[in-house]
Amino acid sequence: MSSDPHRSRSVRGRSDDPRFRREWSGPGPDKRDPESIGSLLGQVVRRKGWTGRISGAAVFGRWSEIVGPEIADHCRPEQLVDGELLVVAESSAWATQLRLFSKQIYGKITAALGPGVVKRLRIVGPKQPTRSYGPRRVRFNGSRDTF
């Protein structure tokens, strides 16, 4: 033990002072724990007005989850401009099938992302290769067979 009377008083005085009182964190959540990135990111998105853009980007990131793996294997979302989603199918046959089911696909997108993110679907087949080679070309409406 220390024989210095001032030392014992100063320690005793500090422990009684609420400024020097220690709080120990336990295994559970505490008010001093840092906030999660997810909760902060949501606040920033709402404050900046990026909610529509984030929802639009979710179409591309969650495409397989939204439309299902069977449909997602045969088409992909290409672009979203002013609420119109361009979907490119792997073949013209698949494009025709997807056009027949466009209302169901639109319903799935609306259910997953909310109304107003996608306002219209435009489903197209794959881009055909161009057959115009060289600097001079002749336009004609006949078949493209060469004899």
Residue 77 lies in a domain: yes
Question: Does residue 73 fall inside a structural domain?
Answer: yes
The pLDDT value given to residue 68: 93
Cβ count within 10 A of residue 98: 22
Mean of the pLDDT values across residues 94-121? 91
pLDDT, position 98: 94
pLDDT at 74 over 90: yes
Q: Tell me the residue range of the domain where 119 lies.
A: 68-128
**Confidence check: pLDDT of 144 > 90:** no
Average pLDDT, integer, range 65-74: 93
Q: How far apart are CA 74 and CA 126, in angstroms?
A: 11
- DSSP 3-state helix, strand, coil percentages of the chain (rounded to 5)? 45, 10, 40
43 occurs within a structural domain: no
Whether 91 is covered by a domain: the verdict is yes
**Mean residue pLDDT across the chain:** 79
Contact in structure between 107 and 79 (CB atoms under 8 Å): no
In a domain? residue 122: yes
Residue labelled with tokens 């490119």? 88
Helical pair 92-100 and 102-113, crossing angle rounded to 10 deg: 70
pTM score above 0.85: no
Q: Based on the structure, what is the number of domains in the chain?
A: 1
